[in-house]
Amino acid sequence: MGEPVTGDTPSPMRVGIVGCGNISDIYLKNCRHFEGVDIVACADRVQERAVEKAAQYGVPHVLRTEAMLRDPDIDLVLNLTTPVGHAEIALEAVKRGKHVYNEKPLTITREDGAKLLALAAEKGVRVGGAPDTFLGGGLQTCRKLIDDGAIGTPIAATAFLMHHGHESWHPDPAFYYQRGGGPLFDMGPYYLTALINLMGPVQRVSASARTTFPTRTVSSEPKCGEVIEVETPTHISATLEFARGAIATLIMSFDIWDHHCPLLEVHGTEGSMALPDPNEFGGAVRVKRAGSTRWQSRKLAFGYTENSRGLGVADMAEAIREGRPHRCSGELTFHVLDVMHAILESAESGRHIKVNSTCERPAGMG
């Protein structure tokens, strides 16, 4: 991935992007540098946005979404719509024999996620999804250190995402407070995917949750003054039990003004590890071994340390050509979705919830 195209290189995967909002820029920028991916068309419910992005990044075609999903020259649909559109667009793409890669979360409901994977298996196409940050040099270095026994057997982890929401800076923040949003569905996939990549699947959860502020007032432009009705919990505290025995504490909040908690740590029988931000590709990695008096920085052992969103799409395209599993798989993204729903169910019911799905740890990048 990322090497110059040569005459012997197979034809790249022809990709159509649906959804030309904020997140599309980094995909459009990065995917130009991956040899196996060729973005050939843009679509958006606001046609002017698709036209603008196509012109900015040299994408040859602007299509209506329906036309893109029918187009036989599109091999893979990169679905960057807001969460409410993930299932409908992905299901239609798969129905028409196209591979699909969704932004996170895979879908809003478990039922739609399961339906998507089943239909893809029936049609013989692949489903993948964000986040792909765990493929970056930071978390891949952590993965290798853990696999090599740097901290012994993982027994615990902590994961904290705590700030005061998006209404002060995002140009259109309403969907962050709707069903399928909130801190858990918005940012939880980064933390959960990182932990599953490091320690395997989750088997049981327990949680508490609350919605502190029933409305949010936008202070950013262009929607300054708009009042948002909050439809989803905005502070969630959960305990995750992993199939291999580790127990993690997870707090996801849009209700906190500031904090001093670490973003992500993993603790083992022979030491502890401080990990980089799972929303980033690089970052500092530090290890403190049992008996040591200080933390030691570890050099990153893998590439892709800058913002490399689109790496998961490139890996998926390469995996399709090579006939191997892709790392940002539908099974992984569905397991993350299942865990998030289990967390909310536990908070509502006041009991432990067994996670029925599972997945394999993705192959390392080494």
301: its two tokens: 């052992």
pLDDT tens digits, 303-349: 999 999 999 999 999 999 999 999 999 999 999 999 999 999 999 99
Count of domains forming the chain? 2
Q: What average pLDDT score do residues 70-88 get?
A: 96
- Per the domain annotation, does 321 fall within a domain? no
Share of the chain above pLDDT 70, in %: 98
Domain check: are 125 and 181 in the same one?
Answer: no
- Of 108, 129, 150, the domain-final residue: 129
DSSP state of 316: H
For residue 366, what pLDDT band results from cuts at 50, 70 and 90? confident
Domain annotation covers residue 360: no
Q: How far is CA 220 from CA 176, 216, 359, in A?
A: 14, 12, 40
Mean pLDDT of the chain: 96
CA dihedral for 332, 333, 334, 335, sign (positive or negative): positive
Amino acid at 291: G
Q: Specify whether 46 is located in the same domain as 186.
A: no
Verify that 205 and 335 share a domain, yes or no.
yes
H, E, C per residue of 273-306:
EECCCCCCCCCCCEEEECCCCCCEECCCCCCCCC
Residue with token string 């068309």: 41
Whether 3 has a pLDDT exceeding 50, the answer reads no
Average pLDDT over residues 99-114: 98
Same-domain check for residues 285 and 270: yes
Nearest to 253 by CA among 238, 229, 236: 236
Question: Is residue 153 included in any domain, yes or no?
Answer: yes
State mean pLDDT over 190-216.
98
Predicted confidence at residue 10, as pLDDT, reads 76
Is the model's pLDDT at 1 over the cut of 80? no
**Where among 129, 158, 185 does a domain terminate?**
129
Domain-embedded: residue 359? no
The span from the CA of 289 to the CA of 267, in Å, is 10
Q: What CATH number is given to the structural domain containing 206? A: 3.30.360.10
Residue 325 lies in a domain: no
- Residue 51, domain extent: 13-129
Residues 6+ apart with CB under 8 A from 285: 138, 141, 142, 145, 273, 274, 275, 276, 297, 298, 300
- Compute and round to an integer the Cα radius of gyration of the chain: 20
**Is 133:139 a contact under the CB 8 Å cutoff?**
yes
> Do 48 and 142 lie in a common domain?
no
Q: Please state, in angstroms and rounded to a whole number, the distance separating the CA atoms of residues 104 and 337.
A: 9
Please check whether residue 318 lies inside any domain of the structure: no
Kindly indicate the confidence band of residue 9, based on its pLDDT and cuts at 50, 70 and 90. Answer: low
Q: Which residues contact 293 (CB under 8 A, 6 or more apart)?
A: none
Residue 122, domain CATH: 3.40.50.720
DSSP string for 245-262: S-EEEEEEESS-S-----
0.85 cut: is pTM over it? yes
Assess if residue 39 is contained within a domain.
yes
In this structure, the answer to whether residues 21 and 105 fall within a common structural domain is yes
Q: Which of 129, 148, 177 is the last residue of a domain?
A: 129
Burial environment of residue 288 by CB neighbours within 10 A (0 to 12, 13 to 18, 19 or more) = middle
Cα distance between residue 209 and residue 244, in whole Å: 26
Arithmetic mean of pLDDT, 104-129: 98
Residue 145 lies in a domain: yes
